[in-house]
Amino acid sequence: MLGNMEDRRIIKTKRNLKEALITMLAKEDFEHISITELCKRAEVSRITFYAHYSDKYALLDDIFNDMLDIGTKDYQRRQEENNPGRRITAGYVNMLDSILGLYYDRFDFFQYTNPEKNPYLASRLYSIILETVEMHTLHVKQRFPLRYSPKKIAGFVCFGMLGFVNESHKEKTPLEEIKKEARRLLTDVLGSGVLTETVDSNGQETIDAGMKKWKQWGSNP
């Protein structure tokens, strides 16, 4: 019983610190937020803070880990519901939908990942997304021959989608239209077979035909 009470206390303390950090980001950039002011806002002592986190960067990582856990669970749910056969295009589209869904659902936090105001947050977010897509691509590589390394493919997909979404915002494209167009673009690119080997050692077509069949399925919202 005592252990459960302590666990709840720890959870509450960490939640207060996370909420305080996000609130403070509305007024000042991350680099200028001090532990003293953060603790004052969260109504916890510095001793309590350091009992849980080594510094504010560790606290920020904990927030990102929370987001990653939410996004991963949503991706797994989508895979089970609409891609039990683990088709390539559908898998990447599900990942895109999970990332965009989380980004806009928790825009109260992600709005502060602007590279101009908070370059560290922006860099950390991109690194996490890049690592996630690379890990997914490593799993794909176990089943299909790829023309490029998982790291290169992850960079291509992440930079491309990030640029697409940013330009869509500049053009004031409605949110649902951004999601729909991003999904279509990713499906078209992957469905073209540009990332996969087209022939085997005997000169026979391998995966492209299957990819083109999946393209129509993956383009449905």
The answer, yes or no, to whether residue 211 has pLDDT greater than 60, is no
Taking CA atoms, 202 is separated from 44, 142, 146, 206, in Å, by 67, 20, 17, 10
Q: pLDDT-derived band of residue 42, with 50, 70 and 90 as boundaries? A: very high
Domain count, the chain: 2
Residue 197 banded pLDDT, cuts 50, 70, 90: low
Q: Point out which residues pair with 199 in neighbouring strands.
A: 205
Q: What pLDDT score does 199 carry? A: 38
Q: Are residues 28 and 49 in the same domain?
A: yes
Both tokens of 200, joined, read: 């085997």
Residue 209: the pLDDT is 44
| Band of residue 31 on the pLDDT scale cut at 50, 70, 90 | very high
In whole numbers, what is the pLDDT of the chain averaged over residues?
87
CB 219 within 8 A of CB 96: no
Burial of residue 26 (CB within 10 Å: 0-12, 13-18, 19+) is: exposed
Query: What is the H or E stretch that residue 152 is in?
Result: helix 150-170
Q: Name the residue range of residue 22's domain.
A: 1-53
At residue 15, does pLDDT exceed 90?
yes
Q: Verify that 211 and 108 share a domain, yes or no.
A: yes
Do 169 and 102 share a domain, yes or no?
yes
What's the whole-model pTM score? Answer: 0.81
CATH number of the domain where residue 145 is located: 1.10.357
The pLDDT of residue 87 is above 80: yes
pLDDT digits (tens, 9 = 90+) for 109-141: 999 998 989 999 999 999 999 999 999 999 989
Tell whether 201 and 102 lie within a shared domain. yes
